[in-house]
Homo-oligomer: A and B are copies of this chain.
Amino acid sequence: MRIGELADRLGITTGAIRFYERRGLLVSPARSGNGYRDYGEDCVERLRLLVGLRHLDLPLGQAAQLSSLCAEGRCDEVSAELRAAIANKRRELARRMDELRYLDRRLAHLGGQLETGEAPRTLITTGKEEHG
């Protein structure tokens, strides 16, 4: 498949894919006669892992290393540093859930109206502070 299709299937841009490649994080794909990049099905799964790790905000380099090793079934070679990073990200995500609950309370009426698309009416009376 060509780069556009790959990008679509992953929900990222062609620019991002080329950027990863320039950085040497992706194996350069074959080129068809016209010079277009030509990807196989396996690239989808491999990149999906990378994309997922990036959504956890793992730094690009680490995400790429990890997804590359995993794609080759060589997870035993993943460094302690990398494994620690993941463990951290998982805890961070848990913390974010809590934070989201806090936001839920503060944005409760906004949120409700968001679902229905109605105009807001209620006032919040917390932390009233006038500037000046």
A72 near B110 with CB under 8 A, answer no
Q: A131 interface residue, CB < 8 Å from B?
A: yes
The number of residues on chain A lying at the interface, defined by a beta carbon within 8 Å of a beta carbon of chain B, is 61
B25 near A78 with CB under 8 A, answer no
Q: Is the contact region of chain A dominated by helix, strand, or loop, or is it mixed?
A: helix
B80 near A120 with CB under 8 A, answer yes
A126 near B83 with CB under 8 A, answer no
A122 near B76 with CB under 8 A, answer yes
For residue A50, give the distance in angstroms from its CB to the closest CB of chain B: 11
Q: A109 interface residue, CB < 8 Å from B?
A: yes
Provided the pairs A49-B106, A75-B122, A86-B107 are in contact, do residues A27 and B129 lie with their beta carbons within 8 angstroms?
A: yes
B52 near A114 with CB under 8 A, answer no
Most chain B CB within a 10 A radius of its CB, from A55, A106, A130: A106
Can you spell out 6 A-B residue pairs with CB atoms less than 8 angstroms apart? A27-B129, A65-B124, A71-B128, A77-B125, A79-B120, A87-B114
The 5 closest A-B pairs by CB, nearest first: A87-B114, A45-B127, A27-B131, A68-B127, A73-B123
